[in-house]
Structure 1
Amino acid sequence: MRTHFIAIGGSAMHNLALALHHKGYHVTGSDDAIFEPSKSRLSKHGLLPEEMGWFPEKITSEIEAVILGMHAREDNPELVRAQDLGLKIYSYPEFLYEQSKDKTRVVIGGSHGKTTITSMILHVMHYHNIDVDYMVGAQLEGFDTMVRLTQDNDFIVLEGDEYLSSPTDRRPKFHLYQPNIALISGIAWDHINVFPTYENYVEQFEIFIAKITNGGILVYNENDPEVKRVAEAATNPIRKIPYSTPSYTVSDGVTLLDTPEGPMPIEVFGAHNLNNLAGAKWICQNMGVDEADFYEAIASFKGASKRLEKIAEGKGKVAYKDFAHSPSKVAATTKAVREQYPDRKTIACLELHTYSSLNPKFLKEYEGALDHADVAVVFYSPDAVRIKKLDDISYEQIAESFKRDDLLIYTNSDDFKNFLFNADLDNSALLLMSSGNYGGLDFDEVKNLM
């Protein structure tokens, strides 16, 4: 099958391109800029475009499927040409559904925890040599790509993002998958640029539940009041399985999970990750893995990339980075580090980088998010605010939003680095939370601080 990717260089798009290439498809693609690691990975398999840019003359009637990435614009010349020729144009999630119509679709949704739960499930399957198709939002240890598609596998595990499908398809991605088995980990308002009200955001999860196939299964986090309400209010003919945070203890920096066989040491930590683990267990059990086998496998799970990922450790000090940016995830991640290292100073640094986090109307949602830190730091770039065409935000607005008198605020990357590299890190746990890089911070340099 001949497929062409418009904006092939994206994290998700290039992984799908690689998956189709491995499946035997004829894959081509275009983009106006491709960065690492996408560039090297595409080049390795002969899929890197010879030159950057858009080339409508390459769009011919022989192409059987055009896959449109979010990076492309509605007036993209290749897209316009494909429309003129009447070619079949898919969004990324729409094409994934086409590839999995005859499989049992397992979709992991929620405002936070999606990647971690999906990663836990795939780790357990990989541990027990159970081959499944998948799409996950992070590179996992032991997996070559973030997408796998085959003809033969019975299950496909999909991370169900609630963001828009493509520039021409304004539906949330997870509305297109029609799960047989679904999970919702939490609901906390996000993507304010797309869902301007909390009610509008919650409605997307109600629609997601309604799209579960008749006779399907919904696994949901009953510790989250909104998830519990939405799940219990659903009237479609599905089976509902609630889960909650399991019992655990922390001893000498090691988290011990209570299991039927007694306390078991695990690599991940924090109440939110233990909650994620409970959800993953129910999904795995519904995919045929019994409880004992789940525990055996999950003991060696070290976490998804950039999700409480340990980047350095020295005597009496440790550093983690995390993708956390939403208020609820920032609070949970900071609390997890505090709980794991109760006798150390917790230094929590947060970069406000996403559209929502830089929106003055959304900032108030961060009240208390850094309360579990001994030293709380916020970095944001005024340039990022301008690039996103948002209203300017001030020191005063940041300070008022977090409700913390001793909050340190930096708007210059050099000033932030100066703080970081001169901080007293003895007997401390450093947490760097961002979906960016603090204006150019090399995380490898942090290793030198340990």
Structure 2
Amino acid sequence: MARGTRTDTGRAHRGDPHGPPGHGGRRHRGPARIGGRRVTRPLARYRVLELTNAVAGPVAGFVLADLGADVIKIEAPNGRTAQQSAPPPAVEGAPDRPWNRVPNFNELHRGKRHMGLDLSRPEGRGLFLRLVKLADVVLENFSPRVLGNLGIDYPQLREVKPDIILTSMPAFGKTGPYATRSSYGPGIDAMSGLSHLTGYADRGPGKPAQFYCDYHAGLTAAFTTMAALRHRDRTGEGQYIELSMLEGEMQIIAPAVMDVTMNGRVQSRIGNRHAWLAPQGVYRCAGGDRWVALCVETDEQWGHLARTIGHPQLAEAPDYATAEARRREHHDGIDRLIEAWTSQRSDYDAMHTLQAAGVPAGAVLDVHQILEDPHVKHRESLDWRYHPEAGNFPHTRLAWRARSGDHGVSGPAPLYGDGNAYAVQELLGEPAASLEALIEGGVLATEPRG
């Protein structure tokens, strides 16, 4: 297969978790048909070698894959154990290989190919460098010393592919006192100042929910990689991109940084409230663990809220006329009045009633409610893909849509080692005997050996 070409495949029935098993099991590699038109994904002519772990690096990889890039996830054979916790087999007759059914791994690696490759061995390093010649991007988020120890740092990559783009995602950057340190998301949340600002005033710092830092870093890495590809297309120059996860997350707290540098004021935790808008909060609704969130931005919205919750006199009361007065002097009392009203209604009823009155509000949905939400269903915000061993699987779509063609998720997660033959035989032109020898010699793996 010539470099830069892809084979097109069918896609799963969008929004249908029960689509037929024959659809969506392979990745898009070329023009897709949308509304009778042939539409090519924007990154379809690029190839990415992904050397990542945890969350941030894989996020960058699946964004590039969803945009059409041929992403080959390269994983050390001892990187994972074969005895992984996973849901039971979902496809009748499929082999019982739990490492292919891990939900978080499959979400983070949708649309990619997979190689089990031992880069610590000379044969593995040589194979990788041969693939670099056919690649456009190497993406990695290892600890800072790993690439150098393996002999595949930027100078070595440039020797075999002068215009290669290397995107690295170190926790703290590759210079400075913390350059050699490693960290997961909670450490970045803590040192960026975000944890200090998360939580309630009478409690200690909190951790932002889920993988906040990692997804932010992954999206930023994908964006900067695309900018580097654009630069290379215009100038012929590759480059080395170093994306510090710490510096990326510090952008999120920019208002607090400006406050301390300009006013000498260190912001503190304020729970669900806002620094200057009022009222803002999350309020209990009827039906158990059900809540609604709202934020009043203008005095007009305050009037709408006061009348809706049955206290029209507050809409014109001088003591409540400004957000500053409501926030400083009356927020606790307002919260009680709001919750007395919301607690008599379901979360959706409260949301719809407030929205109809002109008050920005949203039901606090748990994950099951998200799956059943009519707006999420209408937008097909979850893109179901059929995986040959995990069955039908809902993937979160990229947030933007292109009017010229909405491609959705590029495909399901790979099976372990499903890219071995593609890389060795199709890309490098080696015979089947060479592939078998690499597997038998332990350079390539078809299942994890950790």
Q: Return the TM-score normalized by structure 2.
A: 0.30
Higher relative contact order, structure no. (Cα contacts within 8 Å, ≥ 6 residues apart): 2
Query: When you count helix as a share of all residues, which structure comes out higher?
Result: 2
